[in-house]
Structure 1
Amino acid sequence: MKRLILHITVIAITFVSLGTYSQNNAFKGYTIEGDSVVFTFDVRDYSKFTQEYTGQVLDFTDFEIENVVVSGEFNLWSRDHWKMNRVNEHLYQLKKSLQDFDDEFSYEFKFVINNAYWAEPSKEDPNITKAAKNGRKIRDVYNLKMYTAFPKKDGNVHFKLKGYHDARKVVLAGSFNKWHESLFKMKKTKEGWELTLQMKPNIYQYRFIVDGHWMEDPHNTNKTPNEYGEYNSVVDIKEYTAFKLRGYTNAEKVILAGSFNNWNEHEFVMRKMDYGWKYVVPLSGGKHHYKFIVDGEWIVDPNNEVKEYDGNGHINSVCMVK
């Protein structure tokens, strides 16, 4: 796996392949394992709970647990829909596919005991923020959050800020963590400040916060204006995606064309394989339309059932990168 390295003096963008990965318990409450999110409720991590209707905060001691539910923005704060499985006397777990979440993958969520008591996570956990207003029944308490990125030693994106040796604290904030001002603290090194994240394919905006002062990455030429009359730096995380056309082995030439190369009819010449044809291209996160050109004839992907009309009345095959 390659890593995308952002330098203060030069930006070197390397396309990466995320595949599947493990979060390795970056935050309490959930882990990401392969293509699944595993929610974990450990009774020993909680000492308080709030009665939903009265708002009374009570001790967890001697409380008899009948069931535990994962409740959050992703399931409209349902108190009974995502019921967890009991693993032992302390642990409850629930595994959900990443496909159950949208591309933003940033949510508030909590655990509900017996469909009526909100478990209150420790304020010491770095993944706790003040809850947004989610209606009268969900009170002003702390909530766990999930983000599109998390710190990981061998992650796929390395942010590097050279200099600023006299700074006391440097924080990385961006669209991948809802511009949180303290969550992703960078580590001080001999050259400056560094932080490695695991990030999903997508286009993200980011800035550095040096002792409270917000600044763009001054040597990243890829940037966009923000609402404050300044600029946010931009990083595009891509994933190698293999397009395969099975059959058509008698064809002389097959071209891959799509929204990702402005429907170029010559650029992506596919390689002939035993089973047919193949071409690998790095793609940003999101939806991409494509077709194959077989000896001059445009066709949709016969092995991909997902198709959409474009604005001109044509039908294209669809590839989603997440």
Structure 2
Amino acid sequence: MKKSTLYIIFLILAIAGECSYAQTEPFKGYRIEGDMLVFVFDKRDYQEATIASKRIDVEDLDIRNVVVSGEFNNWAKDKWSMIKINENIYELRKKLSDFTDEFTWEFKFVINNEYWAEPFQRDKNAVRAFENGHALQSYNLKMYMAYPDKNGNVTFRLNGYDDARKVVLSGSFNKWNKEMFIMTKAKDGWTLTLKIRPGEYQYKFIVDGNWIEDSTNPRKVLNEFNGFNSLIDVKGQINFILDGFLEAKKVILAGSFNNWSESECQMTQTKTGWINTLMLSGGKHHYKFIVDGEWTLDPGNPVKEYDGKGNINSVCMVK
């Protein structure tokens, strides 16, 4: 949708085996900026580089170029060249929309088109990958709907359990991983803030191995174990903008999200048109503008659909 919130796919590092993971540690190898996935090679994160069975200290290499190599480009050593940012850092930007919604992809950095950069053995983010049956020490990326962020949009809190040794947040947003989202001890309980894509998710807390519901959340759903999972609906902020129509006296936003109300969502006039901001659940929403009583498609949004009743509506996808 034109001028609406960008659709973002969030990535976080997968964890090998049953090792624990501290969410406060920075993700190495990449970061996310808006709708871009930025691969980041920092020379200081690597001790050795390998070629065949030969090992060499990274400090001894005259680094002329760095390449991103992984399953997504068939482990090519000369395709995804990075840009030198400073003495230690190289970056490569790719649109998140170029990646599929569900994947597990390993990748490594290649120095001078021949040397594989090897993460420190103690690096928790490094997991085993394989190329033609040969083990590689690489970064393993896996897509989830959420990742820890102190400035995220959803904070989970579990009251009490002061004597617990470890509390983990697990849900459909991280494929019910039992180790990934370790909560932080806080006053009178445990807490963790995530950045989560809009959508409806089930979740539970794992307190020293015991799965429990969120007692402060009345929304829950029956699970396959004849118990209940807590339920949360994460909404996304969408700006509906209608350019022009400056002579109109009143503009209403009506859609499937408000049962096509002709009075609930009155838009605010700006210097260039009209605007209304809503928090919407993830998924598809149909809408139209009512300009002085006349139902109008969004001229700035080319995405339209029939509603099964003979009407054509503009479409907003919240992801």
Normalising by structure 2, what TM-score?
0.74
Q: Deviations over 1:205-254 (max 9, x none)?
A: 32211111222223312233334433332222223222121222343432
What's the RMSD between the two structures over aligned residues? 3.7
The answer to whether structure 1 residue 85 and structure 2 residue 83 are counterparts is: yes
Q: Deviations over 1:157-190 (max 9, x none)?
A: 2211111122111111223333332222111223
The answer to whether structure 1 residue 260 and structure 2 residue 257 are counterparts is: yes
State how far apart, in whole Å, the 1-side matches of 2:218 and 2:265 are: 27
State how far apart, in whole Å, the 2-side matches of 1:60 and 1:306 are: 54
Question: Which residue of 2 is the match for residue 7 of structure 1?
Answer: none
Q: Deviations over 1:95-127 (max 9, x none)?
A: 2234334566x6433124266765444454444
SS in 2 for 1:220: coil
- Counterpart AA for 1:96: K
Aligned-pair identity in percent equals: 53
State how far apart, in whole Å, the 1-side matches of 2:228 and 2:70 are: 33
Distance 1:101 1:231, change over 3 A: farther
Distance 1:63 1:289, change over 3 A: farther
Contact 1:27–1:125 (CA under 8 A) maintained in structure 2? no
State how far apart, in whole Å, the 1-side matches of 2:29 and 2:245 are: 49
The answer to whether structure 1 residue 41 and structure 2 residue 41 are counterparts is: yes
SS in 1 for 2:232: strand
Contact 2:29–2:139 (CA under 8 A) maintained in structure 1? no
State how far apart, in whole Å, the 2-side matches of 1:116 and 1:310 are: 56
- Displacement of 1:192 in angstroms is 1.5
Q: Deviations over 1:143-167 (max 9, x none)?
A: 3335443333333322111111221
Question: Which residue of 2 is the match for residue 28 of structure 1?
Answer: 28
State how far apart, in whole Å, the 2-side matches of 1:318 and 1:237 are: 20
Q: 1:292 aligns with which of 282, 289, 298?
A: 289
SS in 2 for 1:188: strand
Normalising by structure 1, what TM-score?
0.74
Q: Deviations over 1:26-46 (max 9, x none)?
A: 211112234432211123323
Unpaired stretches in structure 2, ≥5 consecutive residues:
13-23
Question: Which residue of 2 is the match for residue 70 of structure 1?
Answer: 68
Question: Which residue of 1 is the match for residue 94 of structure 2?
Answer: 96
State how far apart, in whole Å, the 2-side matches of 1:305 and 1:108 are: 34
- Counterpart AA for 1:256: L
SS in 1 for 2:106: strand
Contact 2:289–2:297 (CA under 8 A) maintained in structure 1? yes
Unpaired stretches in structure 1, ≥5 consecutive residues:
1-16
Question: Which residue of 2 is the match for residue 11 of structure 1?
Answer: none
Question: Which residue of 2 is the match for residue 5 of structure 1?
Answer: none
Q: 2:159 aligns with which of 154, 159, 162?
A: 162
Q: 2:207 aligns with which of 207, 210, 230?
A: 210
Distance 1:83 1:235, change over 3 A: farther
- Displacement of 1:93 in angstroms is 0.9
Map 1:119-158 → 2, pairs under 5 A: 119-122=117-120, 124-128=122-126, 143-145=139-141, 147-158=144-155
Contact 2:108–2:139 (CA under 8 A) maintained in structure 1? no
